[in-house]
Amino acid sequence: KAGVTQTPRYLIKTRGQQVTLSCSPISGHRSVSWYQQTPGQGLQFLFEYFSETQRNKGNFPGRFSGRQFSNSRSEMNVSTLELGDSALYLCASSTSHRGTNTGELFFGEGSRLTVL
Amino acid sequence: GENVEQHPSTLSVQEGDSAVIKCTYSDSASNYFPWYKQELGKGPQLIIDIRSNVGEKKDQRIAVTLNKTAKHFSLHITETQPEDSAVYFCAASKRALDTGRRALTFGSGTRLQVQP
């Protein structure tokens, strides 16, 4: 079974630009979550999507957004990039049961964003 | 919200020794506690988890213990090997009352180095 696939793996942007990251979950997993990993803040929850709807959201500004497609693939977008947005962005998929997710996450290898 | 503290931040042991990593959590409603291992350049991978109705769980050389009263849980690795060298993260989660969804709150990570 293929794991979680994230693209691109590395990218460099400048302040003020926007970026879109893509995630393909494990086949059969319908819940996709995004996390930001930085040396200073560790792993922080951004949002979770299930059935093309955002189901849960962390404490990030509105510049961070996402969406999910009917095939469960997900994208996240960061607009008006700031230097502090430099991080590893991790996507994780999980199964869902009776309206909630199990909490067991399977992570991709991440997209490393550098903002200059 | 939930707060998870993890200690130590770095841990160096000799091959064959045991390693213990400790975490405390703040929200007594948290009921799922996974541990993730992150190797260089990869996403975190679930290695073991425990739910609040269980006090201890073991899987070969790794074990996790949970003390709900004290709100702390620990990871124990016995007979450490060089391939155990990685960053380990503890996490806690509960089902949100409003959304019914789970999101993980991670500890800050422990860099384990096993010296051959």
Estimate to the nearest angstrom the gap between the alpha carbon of B41 and the chain centroid. 20
- More confident call, A74 vs A57: A74
What number of residues does chain A have?
116
DSSP string for residues in A45-110: EEEEEETTEEEEE-S--TTEEEEE-TTS-EEEEE-S--GGG-EEEEEEEE-EETTEE-S--EE---
Quote the DSSP letter at residue B93: B
**Nearest by CB: A56 against B41, B91, B103:** B103
Q: Which residues of B touch A50 (CB under 8 A)?
A: 101
Tokens of B102: 């789970």
Q: Cis omega before residue A8 (within 30°)? A: yes
C-alpha span between B4 and B27 (Å, rounded) = 9
SS3 B30: coil
C-alpha span between A62 and A79 (Å, rounded) = 9
The per-residue pLDDT for B97 is 76
| Average pLDDT value for residue range B41-69 | 93
Helix (H) or strand (E) holding B42: none
The per-residue pLDDT for A15 is 98
C-alpha span between A35 and A110 (Å, rounded) = 9
Q: In chain A, where does DSSP find H-type helix? A: none
Q: Scan residues 13-52 of A and list those with Cβ closer than 8 Å to B.
A: 33, 42-45, 48, 50
C-alpha span between A111 and A90 (Å, rounded) = 7
Residue A24 has pLDDT above 90, yes or no: yes
Residue B114 has pLDDT above 70, yes or no: yes
| Average pLDDT value for residue range A37-57 | 90
B109/A42 CB distance under 8 A: yes
Q: Residue B108 contacts by C-beta under 8 Å, 6 or more apart in sequence?
A: A42, B5, B6, B9
Are the beta carbons of B6 and B90 closer than 8 angstroms?
yes
Measured over the CA atoms of residue A37, residue A64, residue A74 and residue A48, the dihedral's sign is positive
> pLDDT digit string (tens) for A74-102?
999 999 999 999 999 999 998 876 556 66
Q: How far is A71 from chain B (nearest CA, A)?
A: 20
